[in-house]
Amino acid sequence: MGKRRPVSYYLLSLFFAAFLLFLYGPMICVYLLSFQGPEGGMSFPMRGFSTVWFETLFKPGGRGVGDIHNSFFRSMRMAAIVAVLTMLIGVAAGMSFRRRYPGANFVFYSAITSMVVPGILVGFGISLALNVLGLRPDWWYSGIGAQLTWSLPFALLIMFIIMGRFDRSYEEAATDLGATSRQRFQYVILPLILPGIIGIMMAGFTSSYEEAARGALNIGTGNTMPMELTALLGAATTPVMFAIGTLTTLFMFVTVIGTLLITMSLARRRQLRLVAQPA
Applying CB under 8 A, which of residues 49, 187, 251, 253 lies at the interface with another protein? 187
Q: Which of 274, 117, 146 is nearest to 211 (CA)?
A: 146
Four-CA torsion 244, 245, 246, 248, nearest 10 degrees: 80
**Cβ-contact 201, 91 below 8 angstroms:** no
CB of 192 to another protein, least distance (A): 6
Identify which of residues 173 and 261 has a Cβ nearer to another protein in the complex.
Answer: 173
C-alpha distances (whole Å) from 126 to each of 210, 230, 276 are 19, 22, 55
Nearer to another protein (CB atom), residue 140 or residue 170: 170
Answer yes or no whether residue 177 interacts with another protein by CB under 8 A. Answer: yes
Q: Tell me the residue type at 189.
A: I
Taking the complex as a whole, the smallest distance from the CB of residue 262 to another protein amounts, in Å, to 16
- From 51-59, 108-116, 166-174, 206-214, give the range in contact with another protein by CB under 8 A: 166-174
Which residue, among 62, 119, 56, 4, has the nearest Cα to 247 in the 3D structure?
Answer: 56
Residue of the chain from 3, 5, 136, 273 that contacts another protein (CB under 8 A): 273
Is residue 99 within the footprint of another protein (CB under 8 A)? Answer: no
Identity of the residue, 13 or 265, whose beta carbon is nearer to another protein in the bound complex:
265
Q: Nearest distance from residue 158's CB to another protein, in Å?
A: 20
Quick check: 159 and 90 in contact, CB under 8 A?
yes
Element (DSSP H or E) covering residue 37? none
- The CA distance from 206 to 89, in Å, is 17
Least Å distance, CB 11 to another protein, is 41
Q: Does 30 interact with another protein (rule: CB under 8 A)? A: no
Q: What is the C-alpha separation between 149 and 145, in angstroms, rounded?
A: 7
Site string for another protein, 190-229 (x = CB under 8 A): -xx-------------------------------------
Binding residue for another protein, selected from 170, 220, 251, 256, defined by CB under 8 A = 170
Residues 243-272 that bind another protein (CB under 8 A): 270
Q: How far apart are CA 69 and CA 72, in angstroms?
A: 5
Residue 101 φ then ψ, to 5°: -140, 155
The yes or no reply on residue 39 touching another protein (CB under 8 A) is no
Q: Does 162 interact with another protein (rule: CB under 8 A)?
A: no
Nearer to another protein, 103 or 178 (CB): 178
Beta bridge partners, 28, equal: none
Give the type of residue at 232: L
Q: Segment contacting another protein (CB under 8 A): 41-49, 174-182, 213-221, 242-250?
A: 174-182
For residues 18 and 176, give the distance between their C-alpha atoms in angstroms, rounded to a whole number. Answer: 55
* Contact residue for another protein among 50, 70, 96, 175 (CB under 8 A): 175
Among residues 49, 33, 58, 21, the alpha carbon closest in space to that of 236 is found at 33
Q: Which residues bind another protein (CB under 8 A)?
A: 167, 169-170, 172-180, 183, 187-188, 191-192, 270, 273-274, 277-279
